[in-house]
Amino acid sequence: MYSNILRHPGPTPIPKKVQLAMSQDIISHRSEEFVKLFRETTNRVKPIFGTKQEILLLPSGGTAALEAAVVNTVSPGEEVVVVSIGAFGDYFVSICEKHGFHAHVLRKPWGEACTSEDLATFLEPLSNIKAVFVTYNETSTGILNPVKELAKVVREKSDALFIVDGVSCIGGVPVKMDQWGIDILVTGSQKAMMLPPGLAFVSVSDRAWKVIEENKTSAYYLNLLSYREWAQKGMTPNTPAITLIYGLSAACDLIEAEGFDQTVARHELMKDMVRAAMKALSIGVLTSDEYASPTITAIMAPEGINLSQFLGHLKKQYHLDFAGGLGELQGKIFRFGHMGYCFPSDILQAISLIEAGLQDFNYSFEPAAGISAAQKVFLEAQKK
């Protein structure tokens, strides 16, 4: 049986080096060996977050880390601002409302970013805002919010904490948590970090720790004070995903060998290749170039083609597996993930198979137009 070519926005392909690292013999999470592994590995993640703060590891998916960021900083009845530009911004809204927080929601149409002007105008009449929650990379639309600029607005317009969901981009985009003024930054293992699902990362500023210490959260499993206490010992409060931490060490090897600046540049290049190919094939993309995500591209259904049938055909005939649209975009777009263990050669392969599928559906285009456009972008980048 053939393996599918996974081009989803998560989970993403796992490097062989990471797979082999995870096959090592298990060790106790209370052993000296684990303490060494934990401390060395979390320290190596800090540059990826752009922080000197501790990296806390939660044995969970990214959603649990989002909930931890919420319940540790806000108490029932307090007011927050949530910026939602898609399905995962709505996650923050749901979490806040579930816990009894008063959420002021800044909604943008799906496919648009939240600008600093948008946020400044929204915050102007508000007061007593405890936290502002923003999605850095909106997986449902392929938008990268201008988090650096949004952080500056929050600092200028309020005393609120600035809390960022970086689940679908950290490891593939630039981020300077300390320098930009991000108070809590979270991500998950199964995206650009090149690991299987099951591990979440949280980093917290000194300013946010002061709020958390006074908040008296009712959380037990997601109590960040407990994670901080145990991290100081080189451990986690509960049994962690030990094999994933082995894998994380190997993933750090790969990122360090490439150089993180080059990792970021590779993601930008793959984004440009995909967008150029779709333009050459007269297939629309959802977002503008200015705010396009380096880790995922939302691609419109080719004109005259039933998208569900087309994606099913690509998977069955060519073993090429894309994600469909979510919510209001279901049936209108498909999502091309290009993050983590993905390279320009993988982009060229996927575009070639898309073209084969388009021919099968009698879509009119110049043969190899997409491949040629993507290859041109790639070759020009090599000259720089």
> Taking the domains of the chain in order of start, what are their residue ranges?
16-256, 260-383
CATH of 16-256, one of 3.40.50.720, 1.10.8.590, 3.40.640.10, 3.30.365.10: 3.40.640.10
> Could you identify the residue written with the tokens 């007269």?
282
Q: So what's the pLDDT on residue 218? A: 84
Whole-number Å distance between alpha carbons of 30 and 233: 10
Helix (H) or strand (E) holding 177: helix 177-180
Positions at the binding site for substrate: 335
> Could you identify the residue written with the tokens 């948008």?
118
Half-sphere CA count of 359, side-chain side, radius 13 A? 13
For residue 194, give the nearest of 293, 292, 295, 269 by alpha carbon.
Answer: 295
Whole-number Å distance between alpha carbons of 187 and 11: 13
By three-state DSSP, how is residue 358 classified?
A: helix
Assign domain 260-383 to its CATH superfamily: Aspartate Aminotransferase, domain 1 (3.90.1150.10)
CB 194 within 8 A of CB 267: no
DSSP state, residue 237:
S
Positions at the binding site: 335
Beta pairing partners, 5: 320
User: How confident is the prediction along the chain (384 residues), in pLDDT tens digits per residue?
Assistant: 678 999 999 999 999 999 999 999 999 999 999 999 999 999 999 999 999 999 999 999 999 999 999 999 999 889 999 999 999 999 899 999 999 999 999 999 999 999 999 999 999 999 999 999 999 999 999 999 999 999 999 999 999 999 999 999 999 999 999 999 999 999 999 999 999 999 999 999 999 999 999 997 789 999 999 999 999 999 999 999 999 999 999 999 999 999 999 999 999 999 999 999 999 999 999 999 999 999 999 999 999 999 999 999 999 999 999 999 999 999 999 999 999 999 999 999 999 999 999 999 999 999 999 999 999 999 999 987
Q: So what's the pLDDT on residue 104? A: 98
Q: So what's the pLDDT on residue 217? A: 79
Task: Provide CB contacts within 8 A for 31, sequence distance 6+.
Answer: none
Strands 296-300 and 333-337: antiparallel
pTM of the model: 0.97
Q: So what's the pLDDT on residue 146? A: 98
Whole-number Å distance between alpha carbons of 302 and 42: 43
For residue 210, give the amino acid letter: K
Q: So what's the pLDDT on residue 1? A: 60
For residue 370, give the nearest of 265, 297, 295 by alpha carbon.
Answer: 297
Cα 158 to the chain's mean position, in Å? 26
